[in-house]
Amino acid sequence: MQTLLEIRRLNQFYGGSHILWDVDMGIPTGSCTCLMGRNGMGKTTLLRCIMGLLPASGELMYDGQNLSPLAADRRAGLGIGYVPQGREIFSQLTVEENLRIGLSARRNKRRDIPEQIFELFPVLKKMLRRRGGDLSGGQQQQLAIGRALVLEPRLLILDEPTEGIQPNIVHEIGDIILRLNREINLTVLLVEQKLPFARRVASEFRILDKGRIVAGGSIPQLTDALVRQHLTV
Ligand SMILES: Nc1ncnc2c1ncn2[C@@H]1O[C@H](COP(=O)(O)OP(=O)(O)OP(=O)(O)O)[C@@H](O)[C@H]1O
């Protein structure tokens, strides 16, 4: 199995607190890998380290390239799309303006929004002139994913995309992630707390417990014992 992103001995500190401890993790090319763990175990922190939004020591190799010396915008430009926790939609900007923000990180100078985004999210086309703040939670999540896809990434990183979203829309977000992964061949790294959702969309899992990777494998290897030990509250 080829690895698109390889993390080796990653350590991260917030001031004096040691948050991530010698994290070793590989994201197989073509996988949908779910990073799991209870609240406060370091999942968001790890994603932010990958994106270059937080400093960390250790090795980060993406498609054979060393990411460590690169600033966040350069990492995005290599084809890593990021949908942050809480979505971070600009509520005063229109849907179109929010999508255009994603274009700024592109390597080539293409300046139009790829049509594929509107095929995936028809609602965004209908709402192009509406302000981001007027969209529902589910629509905002679609906009946040759309904005990350404007880069035409190879790796898409999503931080709890179903948080605060109505159950019927959660299923729809799952369908979209499955399509991106299976049809468009995007490699996906996802933080997700909802177990049925993770089991449905992911092919691989990794578990963080107190800042350390304590388990991982393919989704059928995510046993009830592991769930009890590391995930249930
Ligand atoms: N800006 C910060 N300064 C200091 N400590 C922080 C900061 N952000 C997070 N932490 C601490 O780092 C640890 C990991 O937080 P992180 O948000 O990465 O966890 P998480 O697994 O993503 O949790 P959640 O599911 O609640 O988002 C927590 O103990 C948290 O209190």
Per-domain boundaries in the chain: 3-87+141-230
Q: Measuring from atom 4 of ligand 1, which residue has the nearest CA?
A: 14
54 Cβ closer than 6 Å to some ligand 1 atom: no
pLDDT score for 195 = 93
What's the confidence (pLDDT) of residue 80? 95
Helices assigned H by DSSP within the chain: 43-51, 72-77, 95-103, 115-120, 122-126, 137-149, 167-182, 195-201, 224-230
Q: Return the residue whose CA atom lies nearest to atom 2 of ligand 1.
A: 14
Nearest CA to ligand 1 atom 3: 14
User: Given this model, what pLDDT does residue 11 score?
Assistant: 97
Distance 54 CA to ligand 1 centre (A): 12
CATH 1.25.40.10 fits 3-87+141-230, yes or no: no
* 3-state SS assignment for residue 61: strand
Distance in angstroms (rounded) separating the CA atoms of residues 36 and 229: 12
Over residues 135-175, the pLDDT tens digits come to 988 899 999 999 999 988 999 999 999 998 888 889 989 99
Name the residue with the closest Cα to ligand 1, atom 6: 14
What per-residue confidence (pLDDT) applies to 62?
97
* Range 49-54 contact pairs with CB under 8 angstroms and sequence separation of 24 or more: 49/10, 49/12, 49/20, 50/5, 50/7, 50/75, 50/80, 50/157, 50/189, 51/75, 51/76, 51/80, 51/82, 51/157, 54/12
Q: Is 12 in the pocket of ligand 1 (CB under 6 A)?
A: no
pLDDT value, residue 109: 67
Cβ of residue 147 lying under 6 Å from some atom of ligand 1:
no
List the one residue out of 157, 187, 185, 173 whose CA is nearest residue 32. Answer: 187
Ligand 1, atom 9, residue with closest C-alpha: 45
Distance, CA 40 to ligand 1 centroid (Å)? 5
Residue nearest to atom 30 of ligand 1 (CA): 40
Q: Report residues of the chain scoring pLDDT below 50.
A: none
User: Separation of 41 CA from ligand 1 center, angstroms?
Assistant: 7
Q: Report how far ligand 1's centroid is from the alpha carbon of 70 (Å).
A: 23
Given ligand 1 and candidates 11, 13, 19, which is best to mutate, with the most ligand atoms within 8 Å of its CB?
A: 19
